[in-house]
Structure 1
Protein backbone atom coordinates (compact mmCIF):
# COMPACT_ATOMS: atom_id res chain seq x y z
CA UNK A 1 0.00 0.00 0.00
CA UNK A 2 1.32 3.43 -0.96
CA UNK A 3 1.88 5.53 2.18
CA UNK A 4 0.07 8.82 2.73
CA UNK A 5 2.71 11.56 2.83
CA UNK A 6 2.08 14.53 5.13
CA UNK A 7 4.10 17.72 5.26
CA UNK A 8 4.34 19.92 8.35
CA UNK A 9 6.61 22.58 9.77
CA UNK A 10 9.61 21.22 11.62
CA UNK A 11 9.02 23.23 14.78
CA UNK A 12 8.43 21.36 18.01
CA UNK A 13 4.93 22.83 18.20
CA UNK A 14 4.00 21.60 14.74
CA UNK A 15 5.36 18.09 15.26
CA UNK A 16 3.72 17.68 18.66
CA UNK A 17 0.28 18.71 17.40
CA UNK A 18 0.61 16.61 14.25
CA UNK A 19 1.69 13.40 15.99
CA UNK A 20 -1.70 12.28 17.41
CA UNK A 21 -3.43 13.00 14.11
CA UNK A 22 -0.75 11.04 12.28
CA UNK A 23 -1.34 8.12 14.63
CA UNK A 24 -5.06 8.15 13.84
CA UNK A 25 -4.36 8.13 10.10
CA UNK A 26 -1.89 5.28 10.54
CA UNK A 27 -4.72 3.01 11.75
CA UNK A 28 -6.04 2.99 8.18
CA UNK A 29 -2.71 2.55 6.41
CA UNK A 30 0.95 3.59 6.34
CA UNK A 31 1.78 7.28 6.71
CA UNK A 32 4.96 9.30 6.38
CA UNK A 33 5.69 12.73 7.85
CA UNK A 34 7.96 15.17 6.02
CA UNK A 35 9.14 18.00 8.32
CA UNK A 36 10.04 21.21 6.50
CA UNK A 37 12.63 23.11 8.49
CA UNK A 38 12.61 26.07 6.13
CA UNK A 39 8.89 26.51 6.76
CA UNK A 40 9.46 26.61 10.50
CA UNK A 41 10.01 30.32 10.11
CA UNK A 42 9.80 31.35 13.76
CA UNK A 43 13.55 30.95 14.09
CA UNK A 44 14.47 33.21 11.21
CA UNK A 45 11.54 35.61 11.03
CA UNK A 46 10.30 38.14 13.52
CA UNK A 47 6.56 37.40 13.56
CA UNK A 48 5.84 40.81 15.03
CA UNK A 49 6.85 42.43 11.75
CA UNK A 50 4.88 40.15 9.44
CA UNK A 51 2.39 41.89 7.21
CA UNK A 52 1.21 39.24 4.80
CA UNK A 53 -0.45 35.85 4.83
CA UNK A 54 1.22 32.53 4.23
CA UNK A 55 4.82 33.37 5.17
CA UNK A 56 5.10 30.08 7.07
CA UNK A 57 3.31 27.97 4.43
CA UNK A 58 5.00 28.63 1.09
CA UNK A 59 7.49 25.76 1.20
CA UNK A 60 4.91 23.17 2.25
CA UNK A 61 2.42 24.35 -0.38
CA UNK A 62 5.11 24.14 -3.06
CA UNK A 63 5.86 20.55 -2.02
CA UNK A 64 2.14 19.75 -2.21
CA UNK A 65 1.75 21.27 -5.68
CA UNK A 66 4.89 19.45 -6.88
CA UNK A 67 3.55 16.10 -5.65
CA UNK A 68 6.27 15.59 -3.04
CA UNK A 69 3.59 15.22 -0.34
CA UNK A 70 -0.13 14.43 -0.36
CA UNK A 71 -1.28 16.55 2.59
CA UNK A 72 -0.10 19.83 4.10
CA UNK A 73 -0.83 20.23 7.81
CA UNK A 74 -1.48 23.81 8.92
CA UNK A 75 -2.46 25.77 11.97
CA UNK A 76 -5.41 27.44 10.29
CA UNK A 77 -4.64 30.86 11.75
CA UNK A 78 -1.23 30.77 10.00
CA UNK A 79 -2.49 29.41 6.67
CA UNK A 80 -2.72 31.73 3.65
CA UNK A 81 -5.83 33.88 3.81
CA UNK A 82 -6.70 33.13 0.18
CA UNK A 83 -6.75 29.60 -1.18
CA UNK A 84 -3.78 28.79 -3.39
CA UNK A 85 -4.89 27.81 -6.92
CA UNK A 86 -4.93 24.04 -7.27
CA UNK A 87 -5.12 23.45 -3.52
CA UNK A 88 -8.03 23.15 -1.10
CA UNK A 89 -8.67 22.59 2.59
CA UNK A 90 -10.04 19.05 2.76
CA UNK A 91 -10.50 18.51 6.49
CA UNK A 92 -10.51 20.35 9.81
CA UNK A 93 -9.71 18.61 13.11
CA UNK A 94 -11.99 19.34 16.07
CA UNK A 95 -11.19 22.74 17.54
CA UNK A 96 -9.29 23.17 20.81
CA UNK A 97 -9.45 26.06 23.32
CA UNK A 98 -9.47 29.36 21.42
CA UNK A 99 -8.43 31.50 24.39
CA UNK A 100 -5.05 33.11 24.95
CA UNK A 101 -3.44 32.61 28.33
CA UNK A 102 -1.16 34.39 30.75
CA UNK A 103 2.04 32.65 31.83
CA UNK A 104 4.03 33.96 34.79
CA UNK A 105 7.21 32.81 36.52
CA UNK A 106 5.40 31.18 39.44
CA UNK A 107 2.25 30.16 37.56
CA UNK A 108 -0.04 32.51 39.49
CA UNK A 109 -1.73 35.86 38.93
CA UNK A 110 -3.98 37.36 36.29
CA UNK A 111 -3.82 40.14 33.76
CA UNK A 112 -5.71 42.28 36.28
CA UNK A 113 -3.29 41.62 39.15
CA UNK A 114 -0.04 42.33 37.29
CA UNK A 115 1.53 45.43 38.86
CA UNK A 116 1.63 48.66 36.90
CA UNK A 117 4.80 48.81 34.83
CA UNK A 118 5.15 45.03 34.56
CA UNK A 119 6.57 43.83 31.24
CA UNK A 120 4.33 41.51 29.24
CA UNK A 121 5.77 39.88 26.14
CA UNK A 122 3.93 38.54 23.11
CA UNK A 123 4.69 37.71 19.49
CA UNK A 124 1.33 39.02 18.28
CA UNK A 125 0.24 42.50 17.21
CA UNK A 126 -3.32 41.46 18.03
CA UNK A 127 -2.46 40.53 21.62
CA UNK A 128 -0.26 43.59 22.08
CA UNK A 129 -3.04 45.93 20.95
CA UNK A 130 -5.59 44.19 23.17
CA UNK A 131 -3.37 44.36 26.25
CA UNK A 132 -2.63 48.05 25.65
CA UNK A 133 -6.36 48.71 25.39
CA UNK A 134 -7.18 46.74 28.57
CA UNK A 135 -4.15 47.60 30.73
CA UNK A 136 -2.48 50.73 29.33
CA UNK A 137 -0.21 50.89 32.41
CA UNK A 138 1.61 47.68 31.44
CA UNK A 139 4.76 47.62 29.34
CA UNK A 140 4.06 45.45 26.28
CA UNK A 141 7.07 44.17 24.38
CA UNK A 142 7.49 41.95 21.35
CA UNK A 143 9.15 38.57 21.51
CA UNK A 144 10.08 36.13 18.77
CA UNK A 145 10.57 32.39 18.51
CA UNK A 146 8.62 29.19 19.16
CA UNK A 147 6.45 29.01 22.28
CA UNK A 148 8.82 26.71 24.17
CA UNK A 149 11.68 29.15 23.61
CA UNK A 150 9.54 32.13 24.60
CA UNK A 151 8.81 30.43 27.92
CA UNK A 152 12.53 30.36 28.69
CA UNK A 153 12.67 34.17 28.62
CA UNK A 154 10.64 34.33 31.84
CA UNK A 155 13.64 32.98 33.70
CA UNK A 156 16.30 35.08 31.97
CA UNK A 157 17.04 38.16 34.13
CA UNK A 158 18.81 39.88 31.23
CA UNK A 159 15.57 39.99 29.23
CA UNK A 160 13.37 41.29 32.05
CA UNK A 161 10.03 39.78 31.06
CA UNK A 162 7.46 39.41 33.86
CA UNK A 163 4.75 37.53 31.94
CA UNK A 164 3.94 36.06 28.56
CA UNK A 165 0.71 35.84 26.62
CA UNK A 166 0.47 32.80 24.35
CA UNK A 167 -2.25 30.54 22.97
CA UNK A 168 -3.83 28.16 25.48
CA UNK A 169 -3.93 25.39 22.87
CA UNK A 170 -0.17 25.72 22.31
CA UNK A 171 0.50 25.22 26.02
CA UNK A 172 -1.83 22.22 26.07
CA UNK A 173 -0.31 20.58 23.01
CA UNK A 174 3.21 21.03 24.38
CA UNK A 175 2.25 19.54 27.75
CA UNK A 176 2.67 22.83 29.62
CA UNK A 177 -0.90 23.25 30.88
CA UNK A 178 0.37 23.36 34.47
CA UNK A 179 2.24 26.59 33.69
CA UNK A 180 -0.90 28.52 32.72
CA UNK A 181 -1.70 31.20 35.27
CA UNK A 182 -4.89 32.45 33.60
CA UNK A 183 -6.97 31.56 30.56
CA UNK A 184 -7.95 35.02 29.33
CA UNK A 185 -11.59 35.62 28.45
CA UNK A 186 -12.17 36.40 24.74
CA UNK A 187 -13.87 39.66 25.77
CA UNK A 188 -10.47 40.84 27.02
CA UNK A 189 -8.23 39.43 24.30
CA UNK A 190 -10.22 38.34 21.28
CA UNK A 191 -8.56 35.29 19.66
CA UNK A 192 -7.28 35.24 16.08
CA UNK A 193 -9.61 34.12 13.34
CA UNK A 194 -8.92 30.42 12.78
CA UNK A 195 -7.60 29.92 16.31
CA UNK A 196 -6.96 26.40 17.64
CA UNK A 197 -7.89 24.64 14.39
CA UNK A 198 -5.60 22.22 12.56
CA UNK A 199 -6.41 22.08 8.84
CA UNK A 200 -5.44 19.57 6.18
CA UNK A 201 -4.75 20.88 2.68
CA UNK A 202 -4.67 18.70 -0.44
CA UNK A 203 -4.55 19.08 -4.21
CA UNK A 204 -7.99 19.74 -5.67
CA UNK A 205 -7.67 16.81 -8.07
CA UNK A 206 -6.98 14.23 -5.34
CA UNK A 207 -10.28 12.75 -4.10
CA UNK A 208 -8.51 9.63 -2.80
CA UNK A 209 -6.58 11.66 -0.22
CA UNK A 210 -9.71 13.56 0.76
CA UNK A 211 -11.38 10.22 1.49
CA UNK A 212 -8.45 9.10 3.65
CA UNK A 213 -8.76 12.27 5.74
CA UNK A 214 -12.49 11.88 6.34
CA UNK A 215 -11.99 10.29 9.75
CA UNK A 216 -10.20 13.40 11.02
CA UNK A 217 -12.79 15.86 9.73
CA UNK A 218 -15.06 17.64 12.20
CA UNK A 219 -18.04 19.18 10.33
CA UNK A 220 -18.92 21.64 13.12
CA UNK A 221 -15.37 22.99 13.18
CA UNK A 222 -15.43 23.25 9.38
CA UNK A 223 -18.46 25.57 9.45
CA UNK A 224 -16.77 27.86 11.99
CA UNK A 225 -13.47 27.76 10.09
CA UNK A 226 -15.06 28.73 6.80
CA UNK A 227 -16.96 31.62 8.38
CA UNK A 228 -13.77 32.94 10.00
CA UNK A 229 -11.74 32.63 6.80
CA UNK A 230 -14.46 34.61 5.03
CA UNK A 231 -14.00 37.44 7.53
CA UNK A 232 -10.24 37.34 7.04
CA UNK A 233 -10.55 37.56 3.27
CA UNK A 234 -13.14 40.33 3.34
CA UNK A 235 -11.31 42.44 5.89
CA UNK A 236 -7.83 42.00 4.44
CA UNK A 237 -6.52 40.19 7.49
CA UNK A 238 -3.54 37.90 7.92
CA UNK A 239 -2.01 35.83 10.69
CA UNK A 240 -0.39 38.68 12.62
CA UNK A 241 -2.78 41.57 11.99
CA UNK A 242 -4.59 43.41 14.82
CA UNK A 243 -7.80 41.81 13.55
CA UNK A 244 -9.46 39.18 15.70
CA UNK A 245 -12.64 37.17 15.92
CA UNK A 246 -14.33 33.81 16.02
CA UNK A 247 -17.47 31.90 15.13
CA UNK A 248 -19.15 29.93 17.91
CA UNK A 249 -22.00 27.44 17.67
CA UNK A 250 -24.92 26.79 20.00
CA UNK A 251 -27.87 24.44 19.56
CA UNK A 252 -31.52 24.84 20.48
CA UNK A 253 -33.62 22.16 22.15
CA UNK A 254 -34.24 20.55 18.76
CA UNK A 255 -30.55 20.40 17.97
CA UNK A 256 -30.65 23.17 15.37
CA UNK A 257 -27.44 25.21 15.27
CA UNK A 258 -27.18 28.96 15.72
CA UNK A 259 -23.96 30.78 14.87
CA UNK A 260 -22.47 33.82 16.54
CA UNK A 261 -19.75 35.56 14.55
CA UNK A 262 -17.61 38.19 16.21
CA UNK A 263 -14.93 40.34 14.63
CA UNK A 264 -12.78 42.95 16.33
CA UNK A 265 -10.39 45.42 14.74
CA UNK A 266 -7.89 47.39 16.82
CA UNK A 267 -5.38 50.07 16.03
CA UNK A 268 -1.88 48.69 16.80
CA UNK A 269 -1.50 50.93 19.85
CA UNK A 270 -4.85 49.76 21.26
CA UNK A 271 -6.24 53.29 21.36
CA UNK A 272 -9.29 52.50 19.22
CA UNK A 273 -11.30 49.38 18.45
CA UNK A 274 -14.38 48.31 16.54
CA UNK A 275 -16.24 45.22 17.73
CA UNK A 276 -19.12 43.60 15.83
CA UNK A 277 -21.06 40.54 16.97
CA UNK A 278 -24.07 39.06 15.17
CA UNK A 279 -26.03 35.83 15.49
CA UNK A 280 -27.87 33.92 12.78
CA UNK A 281 -28.94 30.54 11.44
CA UNK A 282 -26.41 30.60 8.58
CA UNK A 283 -22.75 31.00 9.49
CA UNK A 284 -21.64 32.33 6.10
CA UNK A 285 -24.43 34.90 5.88
CA UNK A 286 -23.77 36.02 9.44
CA UNK A 287 -20.06 36.42 8.70
CA UNK A 288 -20.89 38.54 5.65
CA UNK A 289 -23.16 40.79 7.74
CA UNK A 290 -20.41 41.21 10.34
CA UNK A 291 -17.98 42.30 7.64
CA UNK A 292 -20.40 44.87 6.26
CA UNK A 293 -20.77 46.45 9.68
CA UNK A 294 -17.06 46.34 10.46
CA UNK A 295 -16.16 47.94 7.12
CA UNK A 296 -18.03 51.05 8.22
CA UNK A 297 -15.14 51.67 10.64
CA UNK A 298 -12.22 52.83 8.54
CA UNK A 299 -9.27 51.88 10.70
CA UNK A 300 -5.95 52.23 8.87
CA UNK A 301 -4.97 48.61 9.60
CA UNK A 302 -7.84 47.36 7.41
CA UNK A 303 -7.22 47.27 3.69
Structure 2
Protein backbone atom coordinates (compact mmCIF):
# COMPACT_ATOMS: atom_id res chain seq x y z
CA UNK A 1 0.00 0.00 0.00
CA UNK A 2 1.45 3.32 -1.02
CA UNK A 3 0.53 6.96 -0.74
CA UNK A 4 -0.29 9.35 -3.53
CA UNK A 5 1.32 12.71 -4.13
CA UNK A 6 0.60 15.65 -6.37
CA UNK A 7 3.16 15.59 -9.15
CA UNK A 8 2.64 17.57 -12.30
CA UNK A 9 4.46 15.11 -14.50
CA UNK A 10 4.43 11.64 -13.00
CA UNK A 11 1.84 8.94 -12.42
CA UNK A 12 -0.53 10.00 -9.68
CA UNK A 13 -1.08 6.41 -8.61
CA UNK A 14 1.97 4.20 -8.83
CA UNK A 15 2.13 1.49 -6.23
CA UNK A 16 0.62 -1.55 -4.66
CA UNK A 17 -2.80 -1.45 -3.08
CA UNK A 18 -4.30 1.75 -4.43
CA UNK A 19 -6.28 1.90 -7.64
CA UNK A 20 -7.04 5.08 -9.54
CA UNK A 21 -10.53 6.48 -9.15
CA UNK A 22 -12.83 8.22 -11.57
CA UNK A 23 -12.46 11.99 -11.70
CA UNK A 24 -15.03 13.09 -9.08
CA UNK A 25 -15.72 16.34 -10.91
CA UNK A 26 -16.10 15.41 -14.54
CA UNK A 27 -16.51 11.67 -14.40
CA UNK A 28 -13.70 11.52 -16.95
CA UNK A 29 -12.22 8.25 -18.16
CA UNK A 30 -9.39 7.79 -15.66
CA UNK A 31 -10.28 4.15 -16.13
CA UNK A 32 -13.20 2.16 -17.46
CA UNK A 33 -15.36 1.25 -14.44
CA UNK A 34 -17.13 -1.45 -16.44
CA UNK A 35 -13.91 -3.38 -16.96
CA UNK A 36 -13.46 -5.37 -13.78
CA UNK A 37 -11.06 -7.92 -15.21
CA UNK A 38 -7.77 -6.10 -14.95
CA UNK A 39 -5.82 -3.42 -13.15
CA UNK A 40 -6.52 0.12 -14.36
CA UNK A 41 -3.72 2.00 -16.01
CA UNK A 42 -1.85 4.50 -13.85
CA UNK A 43 -3.42 7.93 -13.85
CA UNK A 44 -1.58 10.81 -15.38
CA UNK A 45 -2.41 14.24 -13.98
CA UNK A 46 -2.90 15.37 -17.58
CA UNK A 47 -5.90 13.01 -17.67
CA UNK A 48 -7.88 15.27 -15.35
CA UNK A 49 -10.49 17.42 -17.04
CA UNK A 50 -11.13 21.03 -16.25
CA UNK A 51 -14.39 21.16 -14.27
CA UNK A 52 -15.36 24.44 -15.93
CA UNK A 53 -15.03 23.69 -19.64
CA UNK A 54 -14.27 19.97 -19.81
CA UNK A 55 -10.95 20.53 -21.56
CA UNK A 56 -7.99 18.37 -20.68
CA UNK A 57 -5.64 20.02 -18.23
CA UNK A 58 -1.93 19.84 -18.96
CA UNK A 59 0.00 20.38 -15.76
CA UNK A 60 3.24 20.09 -17.70
CA UNK A 61 6.27 22.01 -16.48
CA UNK A 62 4.37 24.37 -14.20
CA UNK A 63 2.05 22.35 -11.97
CA UNK A 64 -1.09 24.24 -10.99
CA UNK A 65 -3.42 22.15 -8.87
CA UNK A 66 -7.00 22.09 -10.08
CA UNK A 67 -9.11 24.21 -7.77
CA UNK A 68 -6.19 25.49 -5.70
CA UNK A 69 -7.88 28.89 -5.48
CA UNK A 70 -10.81 27.21 -3.71
CA UNK A 71 -8.52 26.01 -0.90
CA UNK A 72 -7.38 28.97 1.20
CA UNK A 73 -4.31 29.05 3.40
CA UNK A 74 -4.45 29.73 7.11
CA UNK A 75 -3.87 33.33 8.23
CA UNK A 76 -3.87 33.78 11.99
CA UNK A 77 -4.99 37.40 11.74
CA UNK A 78 -8.18 36.25 10.03
CA UNK A 79 -9.11 33.77 12.77
CA UNK A 80 -10.43 33.98 16.31
CA UNK A 81 -7.55 32.63 18.44
CA UNK A 82 -10.07 31.24 20.94
CA UNK A 83 -11.65 29.18 18.19
CA UNK A 84 -8.43 27.58 16.93
CA UNK A 85 -7.23 24.14 18.09
CA UNK A 86 -3.55 23.40 17.64
CA UNK A 87 -0.79 25.64 16.35
CA UNK A 88 -1.37 25.93 12.60
CA UNK A 89 0.43 29.27 12.35
CA UNK A 90 3.58 27.99 14.04
CA UNK A 91 3.52 24.77 12.04
CA UNK A 92 3.49 26.69 8.76
CA UNK A 93 7.07 27.79 9.51
CA UNK A 94 8.43 24.29 8.86
CA UNK A 95 6.33 23.40 5.80
CA UNK A 96 8.08 22.31 2.63
CA UNK A 97 6.97 20.47 -0.48
CA UNK A 98 8.54 17.09 -0.97
CA UNK A 99 10.24 16.34 -4.27
CA UNK A 100 10.57 12.56 -4.36
CA UNK A 101 7.92 10.36 -5.95
CA UNK A 102 5.62 8.84 -3.34
CA UNK A 103 7.31 10.90 -0.64
CA UNK A 104 4.26 12.37 1.11
CA UNK A 105 4.66 10.30 4.29
CA UNK A 106 8.37 11.07 4.39
CA UNK A 107 7.62 14.76 3.88
CA UNK A 108 5.03 14.75 6.66
CA UNK A 109 7.40 13.03 9.08
CA UNK A 110 10.23 15.40 8.23
CA UNK A 111 8.09 18.45 8.94
CA UNK A 112 6.80 16.98 12.21
CA UNK A 113 10.31 16.06 13.29
CA UNK A 114 11.52 19.62 12.80
CA UNK A 115 8.44 21.08 14.48
CA UNK A 116 8.67 18.91 17.59
CA UNK A 117 12.45 18.73 18.05
CA UNK A 118 14.01 21.51 15.99
CA UNK A 119 16.00 18.88 14.07
CA UNK A 120 15.99 19.58 10.34
CA UNK A 121 16.76 16.44 8.35
CA UNK A 122 16.84 16.56 4.56
CA UNK A 123 14.29 14.64 2.51
CA UNK A 124 17.17 12.80 0.86
CA UNK A 125 18.50 11.55 4.18
CA UNK A 126 15.07 10.53 5.46
CA UNK A 127 14.35 8.70 2.21
CA UNK A 128 17.66 6.85 2.41
CA UNK A 129 17.01 5.90 6.04
CA UNK A 130 13.53 4.63 5.22
CA UNK A 131 14.65 2.69 2.15
CA UNK A 132 17.52 1.04 4.00
CA UNK A 133 15.09 -0.31 6.62
CA UNK A 134 12.38 -1.42 4.21
CA UNK A 135 9.97 1.38 5.12
CA UNK A 136 10.02 2.97 1.67
CA UNK A 137 9.95 0.96 -1.56
CA UNK A 138 10.61 3.77 -4.02
CA UNK A 139 6.90 4.34 -4.62
CA UNK A 140 5.58 5.06 -1.16
CA UNK A 141 5.34 4.19 2.53
CA UNK A 142 2.93 1.60 3.90
CA UNK A 143 0.52 2.95 6.52
CA UNK A 144 1.96 0.81 9.30
CA UNK A 145 5.42 2.28 8.63
CA UNK A 146 4.32 5.91 8.91
CA UNK A 147 5.98 7.23 12.04
CA UNK A 148 8.97 4.89 11.95
CA UNK A 149 11.29 7.68 10.87
CA UNK A 150 10.13 9.78 13.80
CA UNK A 151 10.82 6.92 16.21
CA UNK A 152 14.25 6.50 14.63
CA UNK A 153 14.97 10.11 15.57
CA UNK A 154 13.72 9.76 19.11
CA UNK A 155 10.07 10.81 18.85
CA UNK A 156 7.49 8.58 20.50
CA UNK A 157 4.73 7.54 18.09
CA UNK A 158 1.32 5.92 18.48
CA UNK A 159 -0.88 4.43 15.73
CA UNK A 160 -4.66 4.50 16.00
CA UNK A 161 -7.06 2.96 13.50
CA UNK A 162 -10.66 4.10 13.58
CA UNK A 163 -9.76 7.32 15.35
CA UNK A 164 -12.46 9.88 16.10
CA UNK A 165 -12.54 13.59 15.45
CA UNK A 166 -12.43 14.16 19.21
CA UNK A 167 -9.24 12.08 19.48
CA UNK A 168 -7.62 14.02 16.66
CA UNK A 169 -8.47 17.37 18.22
CA UNK A 170 -7.22 16.16 21.62
CA UNK A 171 -3.84 15.31 20.09
CA UNK A 172 -3.49 18.85 18.79
CA UNK A 173 -4.82 20.52 21.93
CA UNK A 174 -2.07 18.97 24.05
CA UNK A 175 0.69 20.07 21.67
CA UNK A 176 1.42 16.78 19.93
CA UNK A 177 1.44 16.32 16.15
CA UNK A 178 -0.94 14.26 14.00
CA UNK A 179 -0.33 12.59 10.64
CA UNK A 180 -3.35 11.05 8.93
CA UNK A 181 -4.05 9.02 5.84
CA UNK A 182 -6.70 10.27 3.44
CA UNK A 183 -7.96 10.35 -0.12
CA UNK A 184 -6.27 13.36 -1.68
CA UNK A 185 -8.75 13.54 -4.55
CA UNK A 186 -11.54 14.38 -2.13
CA UNK A 187 -9.76 17.46 -0.78
CA UNK A 188 -7.91 18.59 -3.89
CA UNK A 189 -10.70 18.37 -6.49
CA UNK A 190 -13.18 21.26 -6.49
CA UNK A 191 -16.84 20.39 -6.44
CA UNK A 192 -16.37 16.85 -5.19
CA UNK A 193 -19.74 15.39 -4.21
CA UNK A 194 -19.28 13.74 -0.82
CA UNK A 195 -22.23 11.43 -1.53
CA UNK A 196 -20.97 10.38 -4.94
CA UNK A 197 -18.48 7.55 -4.46
CA UNK A 198 -19.91 5.35 -7.18
CA UNK A 199 -16.58 3.73 -8.01
CA UNK A 200 -16.37 2.33 -4.50
CA UNK A 201 -19.73 0.64 -5.02
CA UNK A 202 -18.52 -1.39 -7.99
CA UNK A 203 -17.57 -5.02 -7.26
CA UNK A 204 -13.86 -5.72 -7.30
CA UNK A 205 -12.75 -2.07 -7.18
CA UNK A 206 -11.65 -0.54 -3.87
CA UNK A 207 -12.53 2.92 -5.13
CA UNK A 208 -12.46 4.79 -1.84
CA UNK A 209 -9.01 3.84 -0.55
CA UNK A 210 -6.66 6.44 0.87
CA UNK A 211 -3.70 7.48 -1.23
CA UNK A 212 -1.99 10.27 0.68
CA UNK A 213 -0.54 11.28 4.06
CA UNK A 214 -0.64 14.78 5.55
CA UNK A 215 0.13 16.53 8.81
CA UNK A 216 -2.99 17.96 10.46
CA UNK A 217 -1.85 21.12 12.22
CA UNK A 218 -5.08 22.64 13.50
CA UNK A 219 -8.81 23.23 13.45
CA UNK A 220 -10.33 26.65 12.89
CA UNK A 221 -13.85 27.09 14.25
CA UNK A 222 -13.92 30.87 13.75
CA UNK A 223 -16.95 30.41 11.51
CA UNK A 224 -19.11 27.88 13.38
CA UNK A 225 -21.11 27.26 10.22
CA UNK A 226 -17.98 26.33 8.27
CA UNK A 227 -15.29 24.77 10.48
CA UNK A 228 -11.99 24.20 8.73
CA UNK A 229 -9.18 21.69 9.12
CA UNK A 230 -5.67 23.10 8.60
CA UNK A 231 -3.08 20.89 6.92
CA UNK A 232 0.59 21.03 6.17
CA UNK A 233 0.46 19.04 2.94
CA UNK A 234 3.90 18.34 1.49
CA UNK A 235 2.35 17.00 -1.70
CA UNK A 236 0.43 20.16 -2.60
CA UNK A 237 2.27 23.16 -4.10
CA UNK A 238 0.18 25.48 -1.90
CA UNK A 239 0.07 23.07 1.02
CA UNK A 240 1.44 25.43 3.67
CA UNK A 241 -1.46 25.76 6.10
CA UNK A 242 -3.97 24.46 3.57
CA UNK A 243 -7.53 24.89 4.86
CA UNK A 244 -10.11 22.20 4.04
CA UNK A 245 -13.78 22.19 5.08
CA UNK A 246 -14.34 19.78 7.94
CA UNK A 247 -16.92 17.66 6.14
CA UNK A 248 -14.63 17.16 3.15
CA UNK A 249 -11.73 16.28 5.42
CA UNK A 250 -13.79 13.73 7.35
CA UNK A 251 -14.94 12.06 4.15
CA UNK A 252 -11.37 11.87 2.85
CA UNK A 253 -9.99 10.67 6.20
CA UNK A 254 -12.46 7.82 6.55
CA UNK A 255 -11.06 6.31 3.35
CA UNK A 256 -7.99 5.32 5.38
CA UNK A 257 -10.10 3.83 8.13
CA UNK A 258 -9.45 7.04 10.09
CA UNK A 259 -5.77 6.23 10.49
CA UNK A 260 -4.12 8.56 13.01
CA UNK A 261 -0.39 8.59 13.72
CA UNK A 262 0.35 10.63 16.83
CA UNK A 263 3.84 12.04 17.38
CA UNK A 264 4.36 13.11 20.96
CA UNK A 265 6.17 16.29 21.82
CA UNK A 266 9.37 15.37 23.68
CA UNK A 267 9.47 16.46 27.30
CA UNK A 268 11.73 19.40 28.00
Higher Rg: 1
- Larger proportion of strand: 1
Task: Using structure 1 for the length normalisation, give the TM-score.
Answer: 0.27
Please report the TM-score for the alignment, with normalisation by the length of structure 2. Answer: 0.29
